[in-house]
Amino acid sequence: SLVTGLTAAASKAGVPFCGDSEGGMFGFFMMAQLPQNYATVMTTDSPAFNRFFHAMLHKGVYYAPALYEAGFVSAAHTAEDIDATVEAAARFFAGC
């Protein structure tokens, strides 16, 4: 899945990143573990998210621009789309 690939790419590069998904909806945070409450959500690395967002946008991957918004994978997204997204993220994470 997208979140699994993103998490693995970040982990390989030593970048704090976690995510979760349910069906086609997903979310992620620039932190080592999924937050369990609002106070923890507020400690996520906003500057890192902004760098990730803009790097991915430059590669043609459009995530929601706000740190706390959900993303959606649809039937229109192919396995190749997911792989290309994970590869673009892996290149970003490797440069962190």
Contact criterion met (CB below 8 Å) for 4 and 89: no
pLDDT at 76 over 90: yes
- What is the pLDDT confidence band of residue 67, given thresholds at 50, 70 and 90? confident
Give the pTM. 0.91
Q: What is the pLDDT of residue 60?
A: 95
**Where does 25-71 have alpha helices with state H?**
38-41, 46-58
Class of domain 2-94: alpha beta
Q: Tell me the C-alpha distance between 32 and 42, whole Å.
A: 14
Percent above pLDDT 70 for the chain: 100
How far is it, in rounded angstroms, from Cα 45 to Cα 29? 8
